[in-house]
Amino acid sequence: MSHQNEGMTELGLVALLVRDYDEAIEYYVGSLGFTLIENTALTADKRWVVVAPSANSRTRLLLARAATPDQVARIGDQTGGRVFLFLHTDDFDADHARLVHAGVRFLEEPRHEPYGRVAVFEDLYGNRWDLAEQGP
């Protein structure tokens, strides 16, 4: 059985638990080279912080500061150790070199898979990401 809803068209935001807003912005913007899309104070303790690989990226990350002990415990492990996010590139070699130079910690050397080139890295919290270029 197929269910289609013409009203839902894309995934807009993915919430990522972080320890501190400014520390997270420094890493995602400074080290990964993401664009800071929004940084708005909602209350004295809560901000709406959105980053993306580029200003044109349709799927973006909401950097959500952990507010409860359960949330704090899940920082860096929202997926039980599996790769959580997939960062696509059109120039694997250049982006891999730039990230290595910026101090991003890769867990493996780049490898070829049937779907393209890939290498797993960890962000500052330990979340695992794939840097991937699709193709042969």
Residue 6 lies in a domain: no
Q: Are 128 and 83 in contact (CB under 8 A)?
A: yes
**How far is Cα of residue 69 from the mean position of the Cα atoms in its chain?**
22
Minimal CA–CA distance to 15: which of 72, 66, 57?
Answer: 66
Pairwise CA distance, residues 78 & 47, whole Å: 20
pLDDT at position 77, please? 93
Are residues 67 and 92 both part of a single domain? Answer: no
This model's pTM is above 0.85: yes
CA distances from 82 to 66, 69, 76, 89 (A): 20, 22, 11, 20
- Of 75, 104, 120, the last residue of a domain is 75
Is residue 70 located within the same domain as residue 124?
A: no
Q: Are 106 and 136 part of one and the same domain?
A: yes
- The reply to whether 66 falls in a domain is yes
Do 135 and 86 reside in the same domain of the chain? yes
69 with 103, same domain? no
Q: What is the pLDDT of residue 78?
A: 92
Determine the pLDDT at residue 33.
Answer: 97
> Does one domain contain both 49 and 105?
no
pLDDT given for residue 83 in this prediction: 96
Domain boundary among 75, 94, 112: 75
Residue 4's pLDDT is 64
What is the structure's pLDDT at 3? 60
Looking at residue 10, its pLDDT comes to 87
pLDDT value at residue 135: 85
Residues 99 and 80 reside in one and the same domain: yes
Domain count across the chain: 2
Range of 130's domain? 76-136
- pLDDT tens string, the chain, 136 residues long: the values are 556 667 778 899 999 999 999 999 999 999 999 999 999 999 999 999 999 999 999 999 999 999 999 999 999 999 999 999 999 999 999 999 999 999 999 999 999 999 999 999 999 999 999 999 998 6
User: Is 65 domain-assigned?
Assistant: yes
Domain assignment of residue 59, yes or no: yes
Distance CA 20, CA 17 (A): 9
Looking at the fold, whether 101 and 55 belong to one and the same domain comes out as no
